[in-house]
Structure formats: structure tokens, C-alpha cells
Chains A and B, each alone.
Chain A
Amino acid sequence: MASAVITAPATREDGLIQELGYEDHFHEHHHGDKYQSNFISHYIFSQDHKMIAKQFLITGMMWAIIGGLMSLVFRMQLGFPEESLAWLKPFLGKWISVNSDGVGSLTQDFYYALVTMHGTILVFFVLTAGLSGTFSNLLIPLMIGARDMASPLLNMMSYWFFFLSGMVMFASLFLSTGPFAGGWVAYPPLSALPQAMDGSGAGMTLWTISLVLFVFSVLLGGINYITTVLNLRTKGMSMWRLPLPIWAFFVTAILGLLSFPVLTSAFFLMMLDRGIGTSFYLSDIYIGGQALDHVGGSPILYQHLFWFLGHPEVYIIILPAMGIVSEVLSVNARKPIFGYKAMVFSILAIGFLSFIVWAHHMFMSGVNPFISNFFVIFTLIIAVPSAVKVFNWIATLYGGNVRFNPASLFGIGFVSMFISGGLTGIWLGNSTLDIQLHDTYFVVAHFHIVMGVAAFFGMYAGVYHWFPKMYGRFMNETLGKFHFWGTLIGAYCVFWPMHYIGMAGVPRRYYRFDTFQSFSHFDSLNKFITIAAVITFGFQLLFVINFFYSIWKGRKLTTPNPYNANTLEWTTPVEVGHGNWPGKLPAVQRWAYDYGKDGREFISQVEPIGPDESPEH
């Protein structure tokens, strides 16, 4: 009954919530303030959405470090094939082979394994679970005015399935035959034949198990996000008053829910091919001169199923980043987001279109060119809602009184990356250009900038912005700015040159280029990329240090609403307890973006529309 004690409201918003809020008698239930108060139920098997968000974030960071280090190892082999990597032998053991001159190099098998693992880890564990998992969990209940997720239990299970999935993948790194090495897309036959290569045996089995567990995690999370957004919005929070991150998380969850089961189906058929000898994906294959029994399958079938997930997956990665950036830019420009409804409709349009463009990943793998035309057109149409969003972000910044803190800098950096990477997407969407560009470094440059770096920028913007909500302290701003400039310049140095070597036809996934006459003159450019990658990674360590230092030693948050923002998460106390609001739930009176209206800098969502307030936003 702690809430029954009415104290004088600390802030204007508190007073409004006490006056106009909605009493759901939440704190009269028995769990009250003793809820999950022991160590295990509070920090480990927590059912509180804020703690689960932190679990997703920190696990995602660990995976980002592992996946990032992997890319440095194979980049060093690629950029400096003549230098010795023997110093890595204590870590990588037999995966470093030392020749008679004492020069150690990465074995070719492990090079492919590292490339595969880097892709899998970054796409699924970091940019799906780490990004959408973190911020959907943290922000959905806080921004819509809910006590917690619709099902805290499923929410907890979502994290632990993710954790388990990660552990299985981690275990596969220690197999004597190595982890799976056939590329993160796991095309058959390398994935469907256990004897195809070293990593195709136990490595592939663990890879599949890990990803199936991951799908469970995504589905449990997604069911929760959708149900919560539809069902648990507080009084007055209509769909058209939702802050943009929530729209983005909501559509992301729908995409995941519709596309990940298709991946499960693809894996199901693949397991049958591997385990009991069916031929869904395999046909007419010879290994060591021996013809296999598999007849009648089609590897293209797998590609269709895979990319039916795979394409929505890139929007599962980028939509949350877009939502976060919209909010961060609007708050820090002290201006309403430009074209709120256009933003929502573009999110919906991108979500819809993402389901009918998957074959643009397969233009060169034997798809009928006439069918390709259909996919080219829809792929290019995606540029329209994407451009709407870009123009709206720029228009939001235009004329704004912008605060240049790390969060807004990363938000602006996101827009820059999204433009650079998006424009090359228009090239790659054309099936004819793909004749030259497919499977080259041009593709690598494109997707790393548009969904790798850009999504990371969105994630950083979110972490810097909502860190005070998570830990009650600020991250160090100076370190954050160093981190931003290092990452922005570094990322462009890594990926910009790749466009040129890609246009020259240098293929991706090759172990070395110095032995090819047509590629070896890119030697110095390759070295440059590797050095830039190492330095850029170093700047990310700056972020990690800043993050953990600030959890315990950062500048303390003293007011509930440090940014003078409108959304509901800033009406909660500095130390947010179970149930998020100590008393009543806030009632929402207006949309989330009343900045600079009628001469007032910001107007919180809990403040009623005044009698003499101007009607337009």
C-alpha cells in the first residue's frame, strides 16, 4: 500500500498523473514492492522488462565483440597474407598453420568458418536480438504506459532461448572439425551434406539447432511485443499517438513473426535431407567421384525459403534503428518529427514491400529473368518510402536548435550511412547490373553500410539516449563524441573503398587475392581497409569501457526528465521500480512530438490540451 501515501508531486508531470491518471490498483496486489527481490529472480531469471532489456543489450555487446574480433582476424589474413599470424596460435591453435619459413597463416577452412560465424553472429545475435530485443523490451511498456509486457514469463523465456541459442553456437566454435563454414546463408549443398566440408558435419548441426532456438526466442518476444502494443496501451494512447520507435518495434515484430517460421520450414526440410536422406535440396551430386543417391532436389528451393526470411530480416534489423533515430533526432532538434504520419506509413510500406522482393538476392542463381523483372520493380519501389523517411529526418533537423550530444550525433550519422548505403541499393536492385556486381565487394560494402553500420549507429543512438533510463546515470559525453567521430570516419574508410574493388569485379568470400593477377593490384587498398577496420574496432572498445564505467561511476541522473522530452518513459521516477509508475498510470492527452509549440519548449504527453492552445502541431 506504499502508493496510497500521497506525497507532494516532484514534477509537473507527476502532478498531472496523480490528477488525471488511470488507477489500475496495481500496487495493491500482494507482490507489491517485494517483487523479485532476491538476486536470482532480480538479475538472472528476471521477468521485469527493464532487466530483460539490459540482459539482451549486454549479451548482444558480448557477441558484437566476439563477432567483431572474428572479422579482424580474417581481415588481417586477407590484407596481409605474407605477414605471420603465428602470434594468434595460443588462441586459435590448429586453425593457424605455420609453414616451413615460420610464417603462420589462417587455415582456409577456418577463414570460411570465421566469415560464416561473423555474419551469423552479427545479423542474428547482435543486430536482431541485441537491437530489437533490447529496445522493444525497454521502451514498449515505458512508452505506451504499461506496467510490463503482456506476458513477463514468455518475455523471460525469450531471453533465455536467445542465451541458449548463443551457447550452442559458441560451443560449435570448439568442435575439432570447426564451426559451420558454408556462409551465413547456409546454402545447400554445403549445408545439406554432412560430408561436404569440415564444418558441414557437427558444425552445421549445432548451427541449425542454435538458429531454431533463436527463432523460438524471436517468436516469443514478437508475440509479446505485438500483444502488448495492441492490448496494454494506457488510457488515451491511441495508435496515432504512439511514439515512432513503438511503431517501428511493432512492425518489426510482425515481420519477424511472419518470416522466421518460414526459415524454420527451410531448416526442417534441410534436416530431413541431412538426417534421413530425402532430396528436397539435393540432386546429382558427386563427392570424390562418387555419385550420391540424392536425386530430384533443388538448391534454389532453399534459397527461396531462406530469402523469404532473409529479406524481411534486413528490415527487422533496420526498422528499430529507424524508430530510435526518429525519436532521438526529434528530441534533440527540439522540433516535432517532420511528417509523423508519413513516417508511420513508410514503416508500414517498407514492411509490406519487404515480403515481395526476396528474389533480388537470387538474380544470378538461376531464377527466370522474367520473374526477376517483377522483383526489380518492387525492390526499386522500396526506395520511395525510404527516401520519405530520409527527407523527414533531414527536415526535422532543418532549422532545429540541435543539441549535439553522442545520441543525436549517432542519429545524424545513421542518416548519413542510410543514404550512402541506400543509394547503392538502387544499383544492386537492378538484375542487369548484378551480372557484374553480384557476389563482389560492392555487395559487401552495400549491406555493411546500410544495415550493419547504420543499424549499429541506431543502436548507439539508443544506448546513449536511454542509458539514464536504464542505469540512472549518464554515459560520458566526451568519450561518446570521440567514439562517434572515430566510428563515422573509420566505418567509411573500411567500406567506401570496397565499392571500387567491387566494381572492378573482386569477388567476396575469397581467401586471398595476391595469387590472382587481376585482383592483386588492389593489395594496398586491401591493407588500408584492414588497418581501418582494426582502428574502428578500437573505437568500439571506447564505447564498451564508457558503458561499463558509467553503469557504476557515471554522472548521476537527478531529474526524471533530463532531456525535456515528451514521451512517457520520462514521467517515471529516476529509479524505476517494478510496475514503472509508483502510483497511477499516466493518461495520455496528446501526441509525442509537441516541441516548440506556442512558444513552449516541450509539452509532455500527459498534459491536457489547453483551451487556448493552437490546434495544429
Chain B
Amino acid sequence: METVVKQQVDIATRRNKIHPKKLALWVGLVSLTMMFTALTSAYIVRRAAGNWLEFSIPSIFYINTLVIVGSSLTLHAAFAAFKREAGGAYKAWLSITFLLGFAFVIMQYLGWEQLAAEGVPLTINPSGDFIYAISGLHAAHVLAGIAVLGVALAMAFIRPLRVTPARKLRLELTMTYWHFVDVLWIYLIVFLSLQR
């Protein structure tokens, strides 16, 4: 009798195919995407209007793309280690991800310095300003991701590793967001390279 009741409850709750928090995050990401779509659309509109300085994207930005893609892969490795309860590997991969995230932000800054050194400092022409604005806003979102990763990292070192639904969910949410800023950067770098 009890199992029948439990089955019925399960059937009733299975309507929630996706966890509400995950859905909420995805909806939020759609909204963030719109913010960057607005900026890249503004870029196209402004570029078509003329008085547009032509220059090439700093090479550091391309190298940095590898860094952030790499960090997504290491975060995945961390998640795999988490699922098989391999504490050492989990901490190691998570630390590497965290460091790669930091490296990305620092290298973006170096990229801006390179851009300025190549004769496109801030406020000289909207074409350069757009690069600073778009990559700057993206970097701010990466920093938010680093903060979340920092919490995950601290927890990984403080608490003994145990796979509970709540912790798995948190890690999955972190991963979704981190992959998002990664994919967002790929979109931005491809966009900026093609729209020259």
C-alpha cells in the first residue's frame, strides 16, 4: 500500500521535468543573452553609419579564448570527479578551473593594454570603445562566475565530499553559468572577428 502511494506521489511530481532553480537560471541566462545581443546589434548599426576606425583584434583575445574553453573542460572534469566521489581529483580540477578563470580576466586586461598600445585607446573612436565596453561587460560576468567558483572551491576544501542532491544541484548550476560565459565569449570573439 505504502509503495503504491509513493509511486503516485512520484508520478505527480515527475511533472517537474526540470528543477525550478535550473529553469530559473536558464531564464536568467536568456535575459543576459539579450543584453549582449543589444550591444552587438548596436555595434552593427553604429558600424554601418561610417566614421569607423578599422583595426585588428588583439591577439591575446584569441589565446584567451583557449583559456576559457579550457576552464570549461576542467570544470567538467571536476564534476565527473565529484560524481565518482574522488575528492582529490575534484579539488584539483576545481582549483585549476578557478585559476584559469582568473587568468582569463587578467589576460583580458592585457588584451586591452595591447589594444591601446596598437593605437586604439579608449575614447578615440566608437569602434574601439565597443571592444572595451563589450569585453568589459563580459569580464564582469566572468568575475561573478569566479565568485561562485570561489564559494564552490572553499566548500570543496572545508566539507568532506559527499554526493547529495543539493550539492549536485549547486555544482550543476555553477557549471551551467560558467559554460554560459564561455559560450558567450566564443560568440563575442567570433562576432567581433567577422564584423571587421
Q: Which of A's residues lie within 8 Å of B, judged by CB? A: 22-25, 150-151, 154, 219, 222-224, 226-228, 230-233, 235, 257-262, 264-266, 268-269, 272, 276-280, 293, 295-298, 301, 304-305, 308
Residues of chain A lying within 8 A (CB to CB) of residue B31: 219, 222-223, 257-258, 260-261
With A262-B35, A268-B137, A297-B126 already in contact, the answer to whether A280 and B18 are too (CB < 8 A) is no
With A150-B24, A262-B38 already in contact, the answer to whether A277 and B123 are too (CB < 8 A) is yes
Residues of chain B lying within 8 A (CB to CB) of residue A277: 122-123
Asked whether, in the complex, the Cβ of A265 is within 8 Å of the Cβ of B42, the reply is: yes
Asked whether, in the complex, the Cβ of A264 is within 8 Å of the Cβ of B35, the reply is: yes
CB distance from A5 to the nearest CB of B (A): 20
Question: Which residue of B35, B36, B38, B126 contacts A280 across the interface (Cβ within 8 Å)?
Answer: B126
The closest CB in chain B to the CB of A272 belongs to B133
Residues of chain B lying within 8 A (CB to CB) of residue A235: 12, 15
Asked whether, in the complex, the Cβ of B123 is within 8 Å of the Cβ of A276, the reply is: yes
With A226-B27, A258-B31, A296-B51 already in contact, the answer to whether A151 and B38 are too (CB < 8 A) is no
Residues of chain B lying within 8 A (CB to CB) of residue A154: 24
A259–B16 Cα gap in the complex (Å)?
A: 27
Residue contacts A-B, CB under 8 angstroms, 20 given? A23-B9, A151-B21, A222-B31, A226-B23, A227-B23, A227-B24, A227-B27, A232-B16, A233-B15, A258-B30, A262-B34, A262-B35, A264-B35, A266-B38, A269-B39, A276-B123, A278-B126, A295-B51, A297-B126, A308-B38
Residues of chain B lying within 8 A (CB to CB) of residue A231: 16, 18, 20, 23
Question: Which residue of A150, A233, A261, A298 contacts B34 across the interface (Cβ within 8 Å)?
Answer: A261
Of A25, A272, A276, A296, chain B has the most CB atoms within 10 Å of the CB of A296
The closest CB in chain B to the CB of A283 belongs to B51
For window 38-96 of B, CB contacts with A under 8 Å fall at 38-39, 42, 45-46, 49, 51-52
CB distance from B48 to the nearest CB of A (A): 10
Residues of chain A lying within 8 A (CB to CB) of residue B32: 261
Residues of chain A lying within 8 A (CB to CB) of residue B15: 233, 235
Main secondary structure of the interface of A (DSSP, over half): helix
Residues of chain B lying within 8 A (CB to CB) of residue A272: 129, 133
The closest CB in chain B to the CB of A220 belongs to B28
B193 within 8 A of A: no
B125 within 8 A of A: yes
CB distance from A615 to the nearest CB of B (A): 26
Q: A150-B24, A226-B23, A280-B133 are in contact. List 7 more A-B contacts (CB 8 A).
A: A219-B31, A257-B27, A269-B39, A272-B133, A279-B123, A280-B42, A293-B123
A226–B28 Cα gap in the complex (Å)?
A: 10
The closest CB in chain A to the CB of B51 belongs to A296
Asked whether, in the complex, the Cβ of A305 is within 8 Å of the Cβ of B42, the reply is: yes
Residues of chain A lying within 8 A (CB to CB) of residue B137: 268
The closest CB in chain B to the CB of A269 belongs to B133
Asked whether, in the complex, the Cβ of B18 is within 8 Å of the Cβ of A269, the reply is: no
Asked whether, in the complex, the Cβ of B30 is within 8 Å of the Cβ of A224, the reply is: no
Question: Which residue of B9, B45, B52 contacts A301 across the interface (Cβ within 8 Å)?
Answer: B45
Asked whether, in the complex, the Cβ of A296 is within 8 Å of the Cβ of B35, the reply is: no
Asked whether, in the complex, the Cβ of B34 is within 8 Å of the Cβ of A258, the reply is: yes
The closest CB in chain A to the CB of B25 belongs to A223
CB distance from B155 to the nearest CB of A (A): 19
Residues of chain A lying within 8 A (CB to CB) of residue B42: 265, 269, 280, 301, 304-305
A279–B123 Cα gap in the complex (Å)?
A: 7
CB distance from B135 to the nearest CB of A (A): 13
CB distance from B1 to the nearest CB of A (A): 14
A591–B129 Cα gap in the complex (Å)?
A: 54
Asked whether, in the complex, the Cβ of A268 is within 8 Å of the Cβ of B133, the reply is: yes
Asked whether, in the complex, the Cβ of A223 is within 8 Å of the Cβ of B35, the reply is: no
Residues of chain A lying within 8 A (CB to CB) of residue B123: 276-279, 293
Question: Which residue of B30, B35, B133 contacts A278 across the interface (Cβ within 8 Å)?
Answer: B133
Question: Which residue of A24, A257, A265 contacts B39 across the interface (Cβ within 8 Å)?
Answer: A265
A264–B16 Cα gap in the complex (Å)?
A: 32
Which 6 A-B pairs give the minimum distances between C-beta atoms?
Answer: A261-B35, A265-B38, A262-B38, A150-B20, A278-B129, A261-B34
The closest CB in chain B to the CB of A263 belongs to B38
CB distance from B89 to the nearest CB of A (A): 33
Asked whether, in the complex, the Cβ of B49 is within 8 Å of the Cβ of A265, the reply is: no
A269–B41 Cα gap in the complex (Å)?
A: 13
CB distance from A226 to the nearest CB of B (A): 5
CB distance from A143 to the nearest CB of B (A): 17
A280–B30 Cα gap in the complex (Å)?
A: 25
A265–B46 Cα gap in the complex (Å)?
A: 14
Residues of chain A lying within 8 A (CB to CB) of residue B27: 222-223, 226-227, 257
CB distance from A24 to the nearest CB of B (A): 8
A226–B18 Cα gap in the complex (Å)?
A: 13
CB distance from B13 to the nearest CB of A (A): 8
CB distance from B126 to the nearest CB of A (A): 5
With A262-B35, A305-B38 already in contact, the answer to whether A219 and B28 are too (CB < 8 A) is yes
CB distance from B139 to the nearest CB of A (A): 13
A248–B42 Cα gap in the complex (Å)?
A: 30
A227–B29 Cα gap in the complex (Å)?
A: 13
CB distance from A168 to the nearest CB of B (A): 21
A228–B20 Cα gap in the complex (Å)?
A: 8
A215–B122 Cα gap in the complex (Å)?
A: 28
Asked whether, in the complex, the Cβ of A223 is within 8 Å of the Cβ of B46, the reply is: no
With A261-B38, A272-B133 already in contact, the answer to whether A278 and B122 are too (CB < 8 A) is yes
Residues of chain A lying within 8 A (CB to CB) of residue B18: 231
A78–B37 Cα gap in the complex (Å)?
A: 42
Residues of chain A lying within 8 A (CB to CB) of residue B16: 231-232
A232–B20 Cα gap in the complex (Å)?
A: 8
Asked whether, in the complex, the Cβ of A22 is within 8 Å of the Cβ of B12, the reply is: yes
Residues of chain B lying within 8 A (CB to CB) of residue A269: 39, 42, 133
A304–B48 Cα gap in the complex (Å)?
A: 14
Contact with A along B89-129 (1 / 0, CB 8 A): 00000000000000000000000000000000011011001
Residues of chain B lying within 8 A (CB to CB) of residue A25: 9
Residues of chain B lying within 8 A (CB to CB) of residue A224: 24
A231–B26 Cα gap in the complex (Å)?
A: 13
CB distance from A303 to the nearest CB of B (A): 11
Residues of chain A lying within 8 A (CB to CB) of residue B46: 280, 298, 301
CB distance from A451 to the nearest CB of B (A): 23
A296–B130 Cα gap in the complex (Å)?
A: 12
Asked whether, in the complex, the Cβ of B24 is within 8 Å of the Cβ of A151, the reply is: yes
With A264-B35, A268-B133, A301-B42 already in contact, the answer to whether A227 and B126 are too (CB < 8 A) is no
CB distance from B127 to the nearest CB of A (A): 8
Residues of chain B lying within 8 A (CB to CB) of residue A258: 30-31, 34
The closest CB in chain B to the CB of A233 belongs to B15
The closest CB in chain A to the CB of B130 belongs to A280
A301–B40 Cα gap in the complex (Å)?
A: 12
Asked whether, in the complex, the Cβ of A227 is within 8 Å of the Cβ of B20, the reply is: yes
Asked whether, in the complex, the Cβ of B35 is within 8 Å of the Cβ of A265, the reply is: yes
Residues of chain B lying within 8 A (CB to CB) of residue A260: 31
Residues of chain B lying within 8 A (CB to CB) of residue A262: 34-35, 37-38
CB distance from B107 to the nearest CB of A (A): 22
Of B24, B37, B45, chain A has the most CB atoms within 10 Å of the CB of B24
A151–B52 Cα gap in the complex (Å)?
A: 46
A269–B130 Cα gap in the complex (Å)?
A: 9
CB distance from B15 to the nearest CB of A (A): 8
A258–B33 Cα gap in the complex (Å)?
A: 9
